[in-house]
Structure 1
Amino acid sequence: MTLRSAILFILLSNNILFGQDNTSLKEKKKLNTILSNENISIDGELNEAIWQKTEAATSFIMFEPDNGKPIAENKKSDVKIIYDNEAIYIGAMLYDDEPNKIMKEITQRDDDGSSDFFGVSLNGYNDGQQEFRFYVTAAGVQLDCNSNSQTGEDFSWDAIWESKTKITDKGWIVEMKIPYSALRFSKENIQIWGINFLRQIRRDRQLYTWTHIDNKKGTFEQQAGELYGIENIKTPTRLFFFPYASVYVSNDKKNGTKTELKGGLDIKYGINDAFTLDAILVPDFGQTALDNQILNLGPFEQQFNENRPFFTEGTDLFNKGDLFYSRRIGGKPSLRRGRLNQEKETNETIYEYPTKVNLLNALKISGRTKGGLGIGFLNAITEKTEATLLDTLSQTKRKVIIEPIANFSILTLDQRFNKNSSVSLVNTNVTRNGHFKDANVTALVWDLNTTKNTFNLSGDFKYSNVNEYKKLEDRKGYNTSLNFAETSGKIRFNVGAKYVSKKYDNNDLGINFQTNYSSIFGNINYRMLKPSENLNAFRLNGNVYTEYENITGKLQSFNLNTNYHFTTKKNNGFGVGFNSKPVNTYDFYSPGREERYVTIPKNYGIWAYYSSNYNKKLAIDINPYYTEYFEGNRMEYGISFGPRYRLNNKISFRLNYDFNKQNSDRGQVDYQGDDIIYAQRDVNSSTLGLSTKYALNNKMTINVNARYYWSYVQNDKFFSLQPNGELSDTNYTNSLNQDFNTWNIDCAYSWWIAPGSQLNMLYRNTSANGLSEIQYINKNVSHNFNSLFGDKLQHTFSISLRYFLDYNRVKNWI
């Protein structure tokens, strides 16, 4: 079957099995807007005459906890919209008979904290699938995100818009200006948009919407209302410049003090009202959050969050099919240190080895046509990176390329239809200069829903082709899955299966840990749709998962678990879960050798959590867990503990402590010829984090984040792995104990000096201390903590200014 035939088959299947029947949809709420010729001042007053001439959206309905309950008269909400050729304007009067109880904690952007908020959801295509949401809290803090029915809300997306709030003796007022540049819509003389409004009354933990969102259905976006009246708008040129300048001063004992100046320019250009180009010409990611490193004892790499704004904002199209792990761009070099050791000459040592590759530039184009076709293209180029080798006899140095100039690209075509379904074609490509590895992955992804959003059929087919220098043939593989689910009602279920071939590899631009397996899985759950006498919410889940190695058919995983979650009338959350692996399974990954595996004994576990109401000044999160193995005294247990205290609306503190203990764990540690050496070991890990926030106002915040991590491994006994997966005694004598500590603290001042313009000042100090193959581990906490300071401590102070320039204003200046 050709790719074109496959797409046609899926579309026809959707029309037959999931066909659209518009008569079955309830009539949508409608709101009319009018054109404004007045100059609207965003001051939270709503005193312009045109506000009195505009139709109001009223009669809000509770979304949670008591779904479908009308809002009380003393909390009624009146919302109006007007527009001009530059933007739409939202004015909301949110009544409250106890305005002194309106919660209004001041936080940094995209964090509602413990605050009332008002929001608007806008869908310029009215396709029931993706919305742009703009929220503002009673303290005046902005939040924005894009949301779709597949992935939910993504708050990494940031737009440039204006808002103002004001608390009165009747409640509070919100005034918003959302430029068309922050939205996406087709070029039509008469626009009909999907729209909804949201209001949270925080002290009661109640969320209301203008149009009723029935929680028996599986999608929020399709139940929006409609906005009429926007006609013949002449949108301005969408061309924005973001020049920036930064200075970095770093100091450590080895390198002394260094000063570095950076400057650059980012560009955002609206190709039309639907498509946008973003370009980053000179990257500067020096102030992004640090990675939380751990002592990684497993066979798989540690996965890190993306902290660079360019790769987090508006990337929903690029995440289709889960082929895109943006940390690959500007990540580790292709020629790792171990391979370089094998290729160096006899008398050479590695003098300098860069641990990351610098990004030269990147751009992305994304948007959607009137017919629902989403197009996304991202391209990035990284620079040539070299290591330095030193000849210990002649003292000469030579350069070795460990990563050539490389081009990373991703293309997505995403066709939406029936207001709730989509089929996507995704391609990722990595091309490296010279004889280094190239890679290409293509995926077909589908997400099909019935008209009433009662059932879902989703799945994918992925094909990878990796071309490696010095290998006789390309490495080709595939990965495919299929899922069927009921998505409405109190009782819901899903069943699915997955197959991954041995040579499937998307790791040049994606991340994938396991290959060569088949899995079958299922879930059934019950949820309470209306509050009961004692509970606001309740959910019960049951899950089963089985996984088989493709060649031998051995069971790699067999998990059974059930879990319960409920929220009390006082908005305290509780949960408990039971896990069971009732048979022995086989691990084909930790041995690190082809066709070898180790037996994992059957085990069972239990976990629980308690999360108190965050409305209280003092709130606590606690999560203990325990797992018992049917193998000697092997077990794992731990606890997460997180108290938080809000002193007032400006100052808050949060403490996080995580402890994990693995007793008599079994893990691969070394090789001796053909022997694979395992150790029986105790592993102790602790993380202590402290976060402090001080908000001067809703534009200025000071945040302090500190983290201390300590993990150590003590080996008690060594074994040799047998061909049947069992472990036998060995005379191996190396210690291989490990001790790893890391510390970092960030103290950041952030000031939004104007919409889209930000001044950041950051002081950071970091340190790490890793010891391996040691005989004795010092278990004194004070000693290990103090060992991080002194010679190992690195200090960095930086100031960065990023300014927003609108072409339409700049041209007037000129």
Structure 2
Amino acid sequence: MSFNFKAFFVLLFSVSIYSQEITISKKILDAKFASETITIDGELNESIWETAQVAKDFTSFEPKNGTPIPEELRSEIKVAYDNDAVYIGAILYDNEPSKILKEITERDNFGTSDLFGVFINGYNDGQQDFMFYVTAANGQADCNFTSQDGEDYSWNAIWNSKVKITDYGWVVEMKIPYAALRFPSTDIQTWGINFFREVRRNRQKYTWNYIDNKIGAFSQQAGILTGIKKITPPTRLFLIPYASSYLNSNKEETTFTQKGGLDIKYGINDAFTLDAILVPDFGQTKFDNVVLNLGPFEQQFNENRPFFTEGTDLFNKGNLLYSRRIGAGPEFYPNLADNEIIDKFPSTVNLLNAIKISGRNNEGLGIGFLNAITKKTTVNIRNTDDGTSREAVVSPLTNYNVTVFDQRFNQNSSVTFINTNVTRDGSFRDANVSGLLFDLNTKANTYNLSGKITASSVYDIENKSGINSSIYLAETSGKIRYSLGADYVSKDFDNNDLGINFLTNYYDIFSSASYRILNPTKYFNTFRVNLNSYMEFNNTSNYIQDNNFNININSNTKKNHYFGLGFNARPFESYDYYEARINDRYLILPEYYGSWFSVSTNYNYKFALDVNIDYTKLNEPGREDYSLFVSPRYRFSDKLSLIYSISPNIQKNNIGWVDYLSSSDEIIMARRDRNTINNTLTGKYSISSQMNFSLSVRHYLSYAENNKFFTLQENGRLLENLAYNANKNSNFNTWNLDLSYSWWFAPGSQATVLYRNNASDFNRVINKSYGSNLNNVFADNLNHTFSVSIRYFIDYNQAKNWL
């Protein structure tokens, strides 16, 4: 990014939006060098803690923003450092220590527990914080925070902490190695820092440096840490070898496999880190919540593989990366003769290796580079007449690449260039997407201007190119806030080789306005009203593709119960260009109105309940949707808790695509009743914060019964078809169970034992009996998996001493 280019955007934004500068008061804390060894035991008995400067006088963040912390909850924090790490010692006073909540949970889960956190920005640029939390139960959580993307808890670092409950409150001692942070290579360090405390029993949150909630910026309101100087951080090289074994069994076969591999983390310099996985193993990742998908678009799944979730804030810029593309099912299906069948079609493609380089230098330039290679995958095609076989490629050797340059400036603004590229071996389709993004904020953080322009190119039998662009303006401070935005997407925009995008060939305009209270009232701790509008038009016809207007109210009471409700409407008919499954054909969708209501009781209580009710009435006779979500939870003790949820959904007289008759060029639609019920049970038993049992069970049942068939006419209306009588009903149910034991036996080192079983059943015969469906899914088709995996964290600086 050239200086002139950056200056252009700064000037553009300065001319577009002007606001009075707001001065943010910043406290200063001096860190003290520790010449002695600090043992992380929660005792604070080293001499350094007696002489280090104290950070105190915390201020309420919420709900009573800006009020001083009560004397009986005063907090005193000290910071020390040496050549290996920065150390935090915190004394958190509490005049009722018996009421300190301390539920034991797994990593990155706060549970119902008091909390202490430290937020560190090594560049003091107000852009990115590394946040480290410790619970009163000695649990750990960490995340990477940016103003643009918020908190990313998939990021994990290796650090130590210890908690002690005392008769005057609780004590926290932390050691955060420099390898877990990013800062410039200078003799004298000046860091942004803030300390955070939550007293869970009354949901009071406090910070050391005051954070004004009228300003829409969190990380820019940190204090300053000085005193760290002339440190010589050690080499950042970490090796994480793993070994795993899998026993898989079903009614057809039993197999045993073993895997081994290595993860590498290497600090190229103070700013940039290399992550690599060699012979990856994702066998213990969480199962996908598969549904009966009758719509025109694929189901989008969450990314559960650690390599693709940890520290990926740079790669997620512009929403151009859908990492589940890497190693997903084969992209191509071979052409078959009438007498040919495929013996077995693979569900995934093996990932050979992957690397990523990411970081940010002291000039605010962030660089990200991700590269992954998947294996060539073939299938065996058998001739049923003569028994001969042939091989066909369903996924060639493929290279996936993402490159990002993100320049930050003025503490709260950025300009980003991102490129994604997919190159396949041979004559298969290749793709390239490039995007330019900007996110600009006034110095006072009162207004935001953001947008993007993205261009895609696909190289196939027919090459095509397209663009995707947007512009967004928002007022981001005060009680009343508003926003206005627009998008334009051309017909041939396609980023689906490495991203995911459903809609093209449209333009839209959307707006919002909101009102919120900034401090508690007589009845509410928080209260917010939002009004939103959205209009979407087809580029070619200018017909309305979608429209929605809604008002929502969200609140938390003085007793920390959540209540919300909303009303929404589609006041105009819409032209759906996707349900028909044929280019330039559309289905006209009727107007609708609906409402929802939601309540969530205070999780501090042993028993809590979440309920959501949703109703939609469409402007067609008898067509309406109902949905209900009920989820009770019970915390038996600080170690044991269970959460159950049931969510039935009923769609009466729904309209959807069922078939295409190529002989007559007819699109067949059906009026159908669809019922869905989703049952889940999750639970945990924590022996300690390092040793946990967890349970996850899900049974999903959905059926769609077609009552009447129609031909979709050229004008988007339906004409009853009395001749079509094919059975296109759908009855699908699926079951998953995960029971796991996890033990963090050393920092960064984990042993996991997992038992999993799963099954699914699909047929065209409607079965409305829940019990019968559950029996069917268990009938001779359960897959069982038992696995053991061990990952061991090796720090090069310690390992070299072994030798």
Question: Do both proteins adopt the same fold according to a TM-score greater than 0.5, normalized to the shorter chain?
Answer: yes
Could you tell me which of 57, 69, 74 is aligned with 1:76? Answer: 74
SS in 2 for 1:211: coil
Task: Report the Cα offset of residue 6 of structure 1.
Answer: 6.4
Take 2:538 and 2:16, find their aligned partners in 1: how far apart are those partners? Answer: 34
- 1:757-793 Cα offsets, whole Å, 9 max, x none, are 0000000000000113x3xx22111111011113100
Given that 1:645 and 1:654 are in contact with CA atoms closer than 8 Å, whether structure 2 keeps it comes out as yes
SS in 1 for 2:61: strand
Given that 1:42 and 1:164 are in contact with CA atoms closer than 8 Å, whether structure 2 keeps it comes out as yes
Could you tell me which of 549, 553, 559 is aligned with 2:548? Answer: 559
Q: Residues 15 and 492 of structure 1: is their aligned pair in 2 closer, same or farther, counting only changes over 3 Å?
A: closer
Q: What corresponds to 1:502 in structure 2?
A: 491
Matched, 1:323 2:300: no
Take 1:420 and 1:510, find their aligned partners in 2: how far apart are those partners? Answer: 27
- 1:250-291 Cα offsets, whole Å, 9 max, x none, are 10011x211101001110000111110000011000000000
Task: Report the Cα offset of residue 662 of structure 1.
Answer: 0.5
Q: What corresponds to 2:464 in structure 1?
A: 475
Task: Report the Cα offset of residue 11 of structure 1.
Answer: 3.2
Read off the aligned partner of 2:492 and give its amino acid letter.
K
Read off the aligned partner of 1:361 and give its amino acid letter.
N
Task: Report the Cα offset of residue 160 of structure 1.
Answer: 0.3
Moved more, 345-354 or 124-133: 345-354
Read off the aligned partner of 1:721 and give its amino acid letter.
L
Task: Report the Cα offset of residue 20 of structure 1.
Answer: 10
Q: What corresponds to 1:269 in structure 2?
A: 266
- 1:157-181 Cα offsets, whole Å, 9 max, x none, are 1100000000000000000000000
Matched, 1:294 2:291: yes
SS in 2 for 1:352: coil
SS in 1 for 2:422: strand
Take 1:16 and 1:736, find their aligned partners in 2: how far apart are those partners? Answer: 59
Q: What corresponds to 1:652 in structure 2?
A: 641
SS in 2 for 1:435: coil
- 1:480-534 Cα offsets, whole Å, 9 max, x none, are 0000000000000000110000000011111101000000000000000010011
Q: What corresponds to 1:631 in structure 2?
A: 620
Q: What corresponds to 2:678 in structure 1?
A: 687
Matched, 1:713 2:704: yes
Given that 1:20 and 1:418 are in contact with CA atoms closer than 8 Å, whether structure 2 keeps it comes out as no
Could you tell me which of 202, 205, 209 is aligned with 1:204? Answer: 202
Read off the aligned partner of 1:618 and give its amino acid letter.
F
Read off the aligned partner of 1:466 and give its amino acid letter.
V
Q: What corresponds to 1:62 in structure 2?
A: 60
Given that 1:108 and 1:701 are in contact with CA atoms closer than 8 Å, whether structure 2 keeps it comes out as yes
Q: What corresponds to 1:335 in structure 2?
A: 332
Q: Structure 2 matches for 1:464-613, cutoff 5 A?
A: 464-468=456-460, 470-471=461-462, 474-613=463-602
Matched, 1:225 2:214: no
SS in 2 for 1:277: strand
Read off the aligned partner of 1:413 and give its amino acid letter.
F
Take 2:340 and 2:640, find their aligned partners in 1: how far apart are those partners? Answer: 56
Task: Report the Cα offset of residue 9 of structure 1.
Answer: 3.0
Take 2:2 and 2:710, find their aligned partners in 1: how far apart are those partners? Answer: 50
Q: Residues 514 and 4 of structure 1: is their aligned pair in 2 closer, same or farther, counting only changes over 3 Å?
A: farther
Take 2:164 and 2:399, find their aligned partners in 1: how far apart are those partners? Answer: 50
Given that 1:703 and 1:749 are in contact with CA atoms closer than 8 Å, whether structure 2 keeps it comes out as yes
Q: What corresponds to 1:129 in structure 2?
A: 127
Q: What corresponds to 2:668 in structure 1?
A: 677
SS in 1 for 2:408: strand
Given that 1:359 and 1:382 are in contact with CA atoms closer than 8 Å, whether structure 2 keeps it comes out as yes
SS in 2 for 1:529: coil
Read off the aligned partner of 1:449 and give its amino acid letter.
N
Q: Residues 227 and 20 of structure 1: is their aligned pair in 2 closer, same or farther, counting only changes over 3 Å?
A: farther
Take 1:100 and 1:457, find their aligned partners in 2: how far apart are those partners? Answer: 49
Matched, 1:395 2:387: yes
Q: TM-score, normalised by structure 1?
A: 0.97
Could you tell me which of 710, 726, 731 is aligned with 2:717? Answer: 726
Q: Residues 19 and 804 of structure 1: is their aligned pair in 2 closer, same or farther, counting only changes over 3 Å?
A: farther
SS in 2 for 1:305: coil
Q: Residues 672 and 7 of structure 1: is their aligned pair in 2 closer, same or farther, counting only changes over 3 Å?
A: farther
Q: What corresponds to 1:763 in structure 2?
A: 755
Take 1:382 and 1:26, find their aligned partners in 2: how far apart are those partners? Answer: 50
Q: Structure 2 matches for 1:120-199, cutoff 5 A?
A: 120-199=118-197
Task: Report the Cα offset of residue 347 of structure 1.
Answer: 2.1
Given that 1:279 and 1:363 are in contact with CA atoms closer than 8 Å, whether structure 2 keeps it comes out as yes
- 1:314-373 Cα offsets, whole Å, 9 max, x none, are 00000111101100000121203xxx2xx2234211112112111000000011111100
Read off the aligned partner of 2:11 and give its amino acid letter.
L
Give the number of equivalent residue pairs.
800
Could you tell me which of 721, 733, 738 is aligned with 2:730? Answer: 738
Read off the aligned partner of 2:565 and give its amino acid letter.
V
* Percent sequence identity over aligned pairs: 54
Task: Report the Cα offset of residue 24 of structure 1.
Answer: 4.1
Take 1:10 and 1:332, find their aligned partners in 2: how far apart are those partners? Answer: 42
Q: Residues 20 and 484 of structure 1: is their aligned pair in 2 closer, same or farther, counting only changes over 3 Å?
A: closer
Given that 2:652 and 2:672 are in contact with CA atoms closer than 8 Å, whether structure 1 keeps it comes out as yes
SS in 1 for 2:49: helix
- 1:23-82 Cα offsets, whole Å, 9 max, x none, are 742331111001111100000000001101100110111111111111000000000000
Given that 1:565 and 1:573 are in contact with CA atoms closer than 8 Å, whether structure 2 keeps it comes out as yes
Q: Residues 8 and 594 of structure 1: is their aligned pair in 2 closer, same or farther, counting only changes over 3 Å?
A: farther
Matched, 1:13 2:2: no
Q: What corresponds to 2:254 in structure 1?
A: 257
Given that 1:385 and 1:402 are in contact with CA atoms closer than 8 Å, whether structure 2 keeps it comes out as yes
Given that 2:13 and 2:449 are in contact with CA atoms closer than 8 Å, whether structure 1 keeps it comes out as no
Q: What corresponds to 1:698 in structure 2?
A: 689
Q: What corresponds to 2:783 in structure 1?
A: 794
Q: TM-score, normalised by structure 2?
A: 0.98
Structure 1: unaligned runs, 5 residues or longer: none
SS in 2 for 1:411: strand
Given that 2:19 and 2:446 are in contact with CA atoms closer than 8 Å, whether structure 1 keeps it comes out as no
Take 2:667 and 2:212, find their aligned partners in 1: how far apart are those partners? Answer: 57
SS in 2 for 1:231: coil
Given that 1:602 and 1:629 are in contact with CA atoms closer than 8 Å, whether structure 2 keeps it comes out as yes
Matched, 1:444 2:436: yes
SS in 2 for 1:144: strand
Take 2:673 and 2:798, find their aligned partners in 1: how far apart are those partners? Answer: 64
Take 1:684 and 1:712, find their aligned partners in 2: how far apart are those partners? Answer: 6
Given that 1:17 and 1:450 are in contact with CA atoms closer than 8 Å, whether structure 2 keeps it comes out as no
Could you tell me which of 109, 112, 115 is aligned with 1:111? Answer: 109
Given that 1:19 and 1:451 are in contact with CA atoms closer than 8 Å, whether structure 2 keeps it comes out as no
Read off the aligned partner of 1:611 and give its amino acid letter.
S
- 1:374-430 Cα offsets, whole Å, 9 max, x none, are 000000000001111001122122210011100000000000000000000000000
Given that 1:373 and 1:413 are in contact with CA atoms closer than 8 Å, whether structure 2 keeps it comes out as yes
Take 1:20 and 1:433, find their aligned partners in 2: how far apart are those partners? Answer: 54
Take 1:122 and 1:500, find their aligned partners in 2: how far apart are those partners? Answer: 39
SS in 1 for 2:205: strand
Take 2:156 and 2:73, find their aligned partners in 1: how far apart are those partners? Answer: 30
Q: What corresponds to 2:630 in structure 1?
A: 641
SS in 2 for 1:103: coil
Take 1:518 and 1:6, find their aligned partners in 2: how far apart are those partners? Answer: 28
Structure 2: unaligned runs, 5 residues or longer: none
